[in-house]
Amino acid sequence: MKLAGQLDLDSVADFALDYAAKLGLDEAEVSLHEGTGVSVNVRMCELETVEKHNDAQIVVNVYKNHHTGSASSADMSEAGVRSLLDAAASIASQTGADECLGLADKELMASELYDLDLHHPWGADITELAQLATRCEDAALSRDKRISNSEGANVSTYSGNALYANSHGFRSISSSSQHSLSCSVIAGKDAGMQRDYWYDSDRNAANLDAPEAIGKTAAERAVQRLDARKIDSTETPILFDPAMAKSLIGHLVGALRGGAIYKRASFMLERLEQQIMPEFVTIAEHPHIPAGAGSALHDNEGVATPAYHALVDQGRLQTYVLGSYTARKLGLSSTANAGGVRNLRVSDTGHNFQELLAQMGQGLLVTELIGSGINMVTGDYSRGAAGFWVENGEISYPVEEITIAGNLLDMYQGIVAVGNDTDRRGNTHSGSILVQNMTLAGS
């Protein structure tokens, strides 16, 4: 058996499952990963840090008479794996029984495993990565004379392999990569300083925005925030820019998770088939998109993912977000969401950003959210915010030190439009979301 740095994931998995059987366990599953990465940070056009890492981990879950134990380690030697499974079996002997525990049902395992084009390793060396970061930061610093300082530019790259196997005989191994480029700068001086940033990420480094474009955007965003004002409290429409709109979708997904539902701790409880959003809103997973940030042919338990899975269809709630355990708790079937949702896409109403501003007329454009004042039981929503005040459909001036509040159920029902200015970074893609009315607490 090979050790870290020369891992044979198949052999480690074989040994782990064979040893689990020798221990007399009913079922077992093993997740393994190994990978390498580099992160290069440049500040004020000087190389500041270089971080290189090699990581490897094995996680085992075992089941015996509906008791379970779990353990993890970076030691993938035979002795390390034996010790790990002994520990997991010991834990299982001491935990309470739960009839819902166990592997996902065998008939749900993915049967078609093919390449989703997730692996695009980046061959750039440290010098080349540092040059990219320097170009990015230099573009930001030279964009506007009001850019007075920098928090740096960063380039990160990661490439690795993962394997999941269980005692049903299911096994899947895949390779993947992820790369990013970011820049954060400060505009103004003394009390008038404002910070902002921009970034891009992709599985394929060739698809990243040019470093100059990222630096330019970071600088422009920081400068636009200068001379921010406080505003009076009011009731007003709110336009969430695409990056902030994703958080609204994230709150919905959190409320649909099986753990929150079976514990009756969600504001989406007992709302299946109900109209929770306007008819023009559809929110669906697309797990099989080639090279997608969240693409996978199966979830973390080996359950086959569908090519399309609507959470909300024409405004109606279609499903909860379930793994095998939470599905059994609810008397339902797994939705192949162990490990989360994958490649979530939000439909749009065809409006571009300027059209959304015009439709809002007067109100607040939110470009930053602060804090996490969300009550997932009631849906009550209150977060610090910053952005821009809009008058007559045009951005008028930046604002800060405000709080926006409402209830997520009302906010979802009050969605007026979704823009086609889609932010395509990451697992969730959404355009700007215009909400009809919220409370704004200012000065």
Q: What is the pLDDT of residues 276-311, one digit of tens each?
A: 999 999 999 999 999 999 999 999 999 999 999 999
pTM over 0.85: yes
Enter the CATH code of domain 126-224.
3.30.2290.10
C-alpha distances in Å from residue 320, one per residue of 200, 299, 436: 31, 15, 26
CB 236 within 8 A of CB 440: yes
**pLDDT band at 6; cut points 50, 70, 90:** very low
Statement: residue 158 has pLDDT above 60: yes
d(CA 276, CA 312): 8
What average pLDDT does the segment 314-321 reach? 98
d(CA 166, CA 301): 8
CB 191 within 8 A of CB 184: no
Residue with tokens 């997608």: 292
Residue with tokens 């078609």: 112
Q: Which candidate, 177, 165, 113, 158, places its Cα nearest to that of 9? A: 165
Share of the chain above pLDDT 90, in %: 96
**pLDDT band at 2; cut points 50, 70, 90:** very low
Statement: residue 63 has pLDDT above 60: yes
Give the 3-state DSSP-derived string for the chain, with helices as H, strands as E and coil as C.
CCCCCCCCHHHHHHHHHHHHHHCCCCEEEEEEEEEEEEEEEEECCEEEEEEEEEEEEEEEEEEECCEEEEEEECCCCHHHHHHHHHHHHHHHHHCCCCCCCCCCCHHHECCCCCCCCCCCCCCCCHHHHHHHHHHHHHHHHCCCCCEEEEEEEEEEEEEEEEEEEECCCCEEEEEEEEEEEEEEEEECCHHHCEEEEEEEEECCHHHCCCHHHHHHHHHHHHHHCCCCECCCCEEEEEEECHHHHHHHHHHHHHHHEHHHHHCCCCCCCCCCCCECCCCCCCEEECCCCCCCCCCCCECCCCEECCCCEEEEECCEECCCECCHHHHHHHCCCCCCCCCCCCCEEECCCCECHHHHHHHHCCEEEEEEEEEEEECCCCCEEEEEEEEEEEECCEEEEEEEEEEEEEEHHHHHHCEEEEECCCECCCCEEECCEEEEEEEEECC
The highest-level CATH class for domain 9-37+48-108 is alpha beta
Q: Please state, rounded to an integer, the average pLDDT across all residues of the chain.
A: 96
Report residue 26 CA to chain centroid gap. 34
Which pLDDT does position 3 carry in this prediction?
35
Which pLDDT does position 190 carry in this prediction?
75
Supply 262's token pair.
Answer: 């079976």
**pLDDT band at 191; cut points 50, 70, 90:** confident
What average pLDDT does the segment 249-264 reach? 98
Q: Over the Cα atoms of the chain, what is R_g?
A: 24
Boundaries of CATH 3.30.2290.10 in the chain? 9-37+48-108, 126-224
Which pLDDT does position 7 carry in this prediction?
62
d(CA 341, CA 250): 10
Q: Which candidate, 194, 192, 185, 198, places its Cα nearest to that of 225? A: 194
Residue with tokens 């109403």: 349
CB 203 within 8 A of CB 214: no
Statement: residue 414 has pLDDT above 80: yes
